[in-house]
Amino acid sequence: MRRSALAVLTVAAAAAASSVAAADRSSRLTLTPIQGEFQPAYVPIPLGGGPLVTVVVEVGGDSVAAAQAAAGKKLDDATKQRIAGDLATRQAPVADHIRAHGGRVLAQFQHALNGVKARVPLAEVAKLAGLPGVVAVRPVSVVKPDVDGPANTVGVPFIGAPQAWSGVDGVHGEKIKVAVIDTGIDFTHANFGGPGTPAAYQAAFAANTAPADPKLFGPGAPKVKGGIDLVGDAYDASAPATLPDGTPNPALTPVPDPNPLDCYLAGHGSHVSGTIAGFGVTAAGATYRGAYDASTIGSQSWNVGPGVAPKADLYAVRVFGCEGSTDVVVDAIDWAVKHDMDVINMSLGSSFGTPDSADAIAAENAARAGVIVVASAGNSGFAPYITGSPATGNRVISVAALDAIASFPGAVLGLSTGATVDAIDANGATLPGGALGLYVLRNADGTVSLGCNDAEYAAVEPQLAGKIVVSVRGLCPRVDRAILAGKHGAAAALMINTSDAFPPFEGAIPGATIPFLGVKSSSRAAVLAASSTTLTAASIANPGFSQFASFSSGGPRMNDSALKPSVTAPGVSVLSTWVGTGDQGERMSGTSMASPHVAGVAALTLQAHRGWSAEEIRAAILGTADATKVLDYEARIGGAGLVQAAPAVKTQVVPLAQPFGPMNLSYGFAELTRDLDRGQIVLVKNNGKEWATFDVTTTPTGGSPHTATAFPSRVRVPPHGVFPVAVRLQVAAGAAGNTDLFRDAAGLVTLTPVSGSNGGIGLAVPYYLVAYSRAELEARATGLNGSSTSATVALANEEGAIPVNADFYAWGASGTPNGKGSIDLRAAGVQAFTSGGRRYLVFAVNTFNRFSSAAVNEYDVLVDTNGDGAPDYAVSAIDYGLVTAGSFSGDVAVVVQNLATGAASIRFFANAPTDGSTLELPVRASDLGLTPAAPRFTYSVQAFDLFTGDSDATSDAGAFNAFASAVATGDYVTVAPAGNASVSVAVDPAEWAQTAPKGLMIVNLDGKAGRDQAVLVPAR
């Protein structure tokens, strides 16, 4: 991203040369929330961190899925076995090579893809790619459940599922096989037809590696018809490679068994499965056995409401241990294809997904073979490109999360100061009466505590009785505050949120009986100023109702900028199956909870439209989604809009837009110095028996100014016929906008039925483009050498659509092109300036190729301050969320690491615009130990792809004096389109003799990605 909208440090300009703009200089210094030394959650590579390299080596030859796709029908078992056997023979030489060169073969696949999964030394990756018969070496994602923290009685009707259950043609998912790739399932729960007692779960857990009771699991079971545990209880893909004694960590070795009983924390897979296809559990704790129609949910009181497709069959494919992460998603997809699943749900993922990771390719291949593959978009927030894999695969339905809760139980705080504050009663507990004291938990420095440590409460327990304990959100699970406060005698717990919104509604909290109140960040000052309060019960209107969940991951997709996510579903405070309780439900939030709503709709749609192709089923689901039901609709956050079950099962007409790709009108990525004019086609296909007529319109929904037109404006499609609609997108070169913000253009192509066509069901397809206006900088210098005291630099912007902002650096290091994508280092430079008595440096790093987001990589400037040839410090550009909290946020921070002591500090965000190739890394000179008495240093750059483990480094090093540079830096010159400028640059011949630069590196962040963003002017 460009710049985080946090505190900005104002820096006065130093008058180094002709045209310096103070505002531009200060804007590159954006402060991080954490200031100074900290303990990294992710250890940067110069301090010994870095990812393990697990890959899938794809081998030539069609997998079973590819063969089935080519045949256009499901293959018989004998044909599948023959294909799998042939592929295993082809894989054998590759597997033997891996073992012979220090690698470990983890699995071999023949169904979802043809490949060998292995953990190998990084140096072996390139060698594997060159082996005979190898098609590609693909990274394997390490994924976690996409859970961030409405009952099925809210979410299921919110998407219209009961209407799909009703009538003569009502569907409920009968005979549809849904594979849930997740943490397993509690098949003893009443929601799945089990005994419905905690004792039954405990008995099953005591034998959870043995074959499960066939009355609860298997072909004769009421709901869970099959599945497998691919990993065992202890598995965790993120576990350390070795134990403290140096022996290999057994947690990294899967131990499969036939029993996928769920044991993961709160039972993530059981919760997901209940939303897809749970029978429902009545308030009496019994499995619901009645009919499913439009009146079902309203006619009962429920512990857990029915799932979207309550009569579908579930197959639990367990890929997680009892905690942690997994990297066996490809294995699970392979199993699902092998066992002829109709639908796959994956409520899991890893941030910054691409279409070509191993799990995305496997998911795409399964979809090609006819499986409807649904996956969660991720819980990393709205940052561009952060949406996750495997949902980023082509033909995979990626699901964003929406809040379907209209109101919450709440409380009005009547504070002792006379002020009133609204709070959510997040667990719906009964509020105590009378005046209650407020006790604010504080850290040693006086700041408000996170309230995560039991010892904090124990130390002040005598002061907590009858009071409300106040803390702030962060670090630990939210509900811990209620549990700990209640344990130590408090009357209630109150958490101040970190954003100006109420925290999520939690529902009943195990181990907590006191109210758990939550207030917005804007109420912080009022609460902290008061000594006591009264509590009055109230219903709090949910300000986020029918809007995107704040955690839902933003698109588009990495690299090609295709539109993902695909569609939206409820995902906030969803009540579904609670593992181990027998008959109870619990609330969870996340795109993990949204995805199963859509998987359930997929089961209904498959049942309703038997004989339709997988492409048509997906188009029915996406084409009938409703963007108008999302109040803050934005295409790159929520795709086509809110999924609609009834229209999906009843439509006879579907819009096919890039059906073998992202399934929408994705126009990709563009850098504009000329006007853009691109076209796409939507095929309107009528599978019904009657003519269908639609009016076709286009509606921009956001982004840069643009024009979208559809032709023709009315289509009349015959029964079983197809009619093409051409959609033309135009953007003026100067209208797209510069890199100050992420830039896109989006809207909807809407097909409105005429005279009741298609049963009155309308259709829509989103269109989407990422585009930037670009400036084209040219520069040449005279007198740039160590023998004169000044040089003249001529600048021009002859072909640009917008102004050039030329930022001057001393060029010090270079690299050579080597095909390593966004870590292929081209050049690095540095500038210096003073503000408020402090000296600052800014390092600029330029790559040969575009990155969608710099946050997927780590860029390290290695600084040698004592001249011994070894780096003393590393100035690293790393994702802020990753390095501070262990999960990606999309913001790139600058971390300074002392390589001798291991200490790490953080002060600034990097300036790294999306879809660029240049990063600017600001740092205080003092943080590198530089002073006027010891001002000189040398530097080089290395870069790492955090997903593949690949790396690159500059081929040489630069030298610089932080307090008296050989060539003046920091000039910031604006050149209008078709304009030019001349800049005089001061040169210090004496310093040049000691720290001679290669020349000038003039950064133009609004240039085209690659060379144009950093013009290199060599010294002559």
Q: Tell me the pLDDT tens digit for each residue of 102-150.
A: 888 999 999 999 999 998 877 788 788 889 999 999 988 888 886 664 4
Q: What is the pLDDT of residue 887?
A: 87
Q: Which residue has the tokens 């009155």?
A: 760
43 vs 758 pLDDT, higher one: 758
CA–CA distance, 116 with 105 (Å, rounded to integer): 7
Work out the pLDDT band at 47, boundaries 50, 70, 90: low
Does residue 618 have a pLDDT over 80? yes
Work out the pLDDT band at 510, boundaries 50, 70, 90: confident
Does residue 497 have a pLDDT over 60? yes
Q: At what angle do helices 329-338 and 64-71 cross, to 10 degrees?
A: 40
Domain with CATH 3.40.50.200 in the chain: 144-186+226-404+547-578+586-629
Does residue 671 have a pLDDT over 50? yes
CA–CA distance, 64 with 47 (Å, rounded to integer): 44
Does residue 580 have a pLDDT over 90? yes
Does residue 16 have a pLDDT over 50? no
Does residue 21 have a pLDDT over 70? no
State the alpha helices, DSSP H only, in 315-368: 329-338, 358-368
Once rounded to an integer, what is the mean pLDDT over residues 208-231? 98
Q: What is the pLDDT of residue 18?
A: 34
Q: Among 239-248, 459-468, 541-550, 756-765, which is the least confidently predicted range?
A: 239-248
Looking at domain 52-139, its CATH class is alpha beta
Once rounded to an integer, what is the mean pLDDT over residues 584-589? 90
Whether the CA torsion 661, 367, 347, 342 is positive or negative: it is positive
CA–CA distance, 536 with 517 (Å, rounded to integer): 12
What are the residues facing 679 on neighbouring strands? 728
What pTM was computed for the model? 0.91
Does residue 91 have a pLDDT over 50? yes
**297 Cβ partners below 8 Å, 6+ apart?**
153, 156, 157, 162, 305, 306
Single out the residue of 680, 624, 682 nearest to residue 652, CA to CA: 624
Q: Among 67-76, 518-527, 727-736, 811-820, which is the least confidently predicted range?
A: 67-76
Q: What is the pLDDT of residue 49?
A: 53
Q: At what angle do helices 329-338 and 358-368 cross, to 10 degrees?
A: 10
Longest dimension (CA), the chain: 92
Does residue 858 have a pLDDT over 90? yes
CA–CA distance, 616 with 688 (Å, rounded to integer): 13
Tell whether domain 144-186+226-404+547-578+586-629 is in CATH 3.40.50.11540.
Answer: no
CA–CA distance, 861 with 813 (Å, rounded to integer): 10
Q: Which residue has the tokens 């004769």?
A: 220
Single out the residue of 743, 351, 711, 262 nearest to residue 557, CA to CA: 351
Single out the residue of 856, 807, 812 nearest to residue 830, CA to CA: 812
Cis before residue 913, ω within 30 degrees of 0?
no
Q: Which residue has the tokens 């080519």?
A: 70
Does residue 501 have a pLDDT over 80? yes
Q: What is the pLDDT of residue 265?
A: 75
Write the DSSP assignment of 176-190 as a string of letters. Answer: -EEEEEES-B-TTSG
With a pLDDT cut of 90, the percent of the chain lying above it is: 82
CA–CA distance, 567 with 594 (Å, rounded to integer): 10
SS3 649: helix
CA–CA distance, 573 with 665 (Å, rounded to integer): 32
Q: What is the pLDDT of residue 659?
A: 84
CA–CA distance, 178 with 224 (Å, rounded to integer): 10
CB atoms within 10 A of CB 18: 14
Q: What is the pLDDT of residue 25?
A: 63
CB atoms within 10 A of CB 501: 16
Single out the residue of 884, 293, 967 nearest to residue 646, CA to CA: 293
Query: Residue 398 in contact with residue 571, Cβ under 8 Å?
Result: no
The strand ranges marked E within 644-753 are 653-656, 665-672, 676-686, 692-703, 707-711, 714-717, 722-731, 744-753
With a pLDDT cut of 70, the percent of the chain lying above it is: 96
Active site residue 488: no
CB atoms within 10 A of CB 826: 25
Does residue 507 have a pLDDT over 90? no
CA–CA distance, 43 with 876 (Å, rounded to integer): 11
Give the tens place of pLDDT for each residue, 543-553. 889 999 999 99
Once rounded to an integer, what is the mean pLDDT over residues 682-704? 97
Give the tens place of pLDDT for each residue, 170-204. 999 999 999 999 999 999 999 999 999 999 999 99
**Pairing status of strand 492-496 against strand 516-519:** parallel
Give the tens place of pLDDT for each residue, 450-485. 999 999 999 999 999 999 999 999 878 899 999 999
Give the tens place of pLDDT for each residue, 428-440. 999 999 999 999 9
Looking at domain 652-773, its CATH class is mainly beta
Give the tens place of pLDDT for each residue, 922-958. 999 999 999 999 999 999 999 999 888 888 999 999 9
Identify the active-site residue in 268, 271, 597, 609: 268
Q: What is the pLDDT of residue 19?
A: 42
**Pairing status of strand 1014-1018 against strand 999-1003:** antiparallel
**515 Cβ partners below 8 Å, 6+ apart?**
411, 425, 427, 429, 430, 431, 432, 482, 491, 492, 493, 535
Q: What is the CATH number of domain 407-541?
A: 3.50.30.30
Whether the CA torsion 847, 853, 856, 860 is positive or negative: it is positive
Q: Which residues of 474-491 are buried (b: 16+ CB within 10 A; e: fewer)?
A: eeeebbbbbbbbbbbbbb
Active site residue 63: no
243 vs 149 pLDDT, higher one: 243
Identify the active-site residue in 576, 592, 822, 853: 592
Q: What is the pLDDT of residue 475?
A: 78
Does residue 506 have a pLDDT over 60? yes
Q: How many residues does the chain have?
A: 1020
Q: How many H helices and E strands in the chain?
A: 19, 51
Query: Residue 678 in contact with residue 604, Cβ under 8 Å?
Result: no
SS3 269: helix
Backbone angles phi, psi at 1007, to 5 degrees: -80, 170
Single out the residue of 702, 637, 748, 146 nearest to residue 384, CA to CA: 637
Once rounded to an integer, what is the mean pLDDT over residues 154-174? 88
Domain with CATH 2.60.40.2310 in the chain: 652-773
State the alpha helices, DSSP H only, in 840-949: 880-885
Does residue 10 have a pLDDT over 70? no
Domain with CATH 3.50.30.30 in the chain: 407-541
Active site residue 268: yes
Backbone angles phi, psi at 769, to 5 degrees: -145, 140
Domain with CATH 3.30.70.80 in the chain: 52-139
Q: What is the pLDDT of residue 149?
A: 45
The secondary element (H helix, E strand) that includes residue 268 is helix 268-277
Once rounded to an integer, what is the mean pLDDT over residues 736-749? 97
Q: What is the pLDDT of residue 565?
A: 98
CA–CA distance, 996 with 67 (Å, rounded to integer): 61
Once rounded to an integer, what is the mean pLDDT over residues 388-396? 96
CA–CA distance, 746 with 217 (Å, rounded to integer): 46
CA–CA distance, 722 with 265 (Å, rounded to integer): 49
**Pairing status of strand 420-425 against strand 436-440:** unpaired
Identify the active-site residue in 182, 213, 359, 403: 182
Average pLDDT value over all residues in the chain: 92
For residue 870 the two structure tokens come to: 């070894």
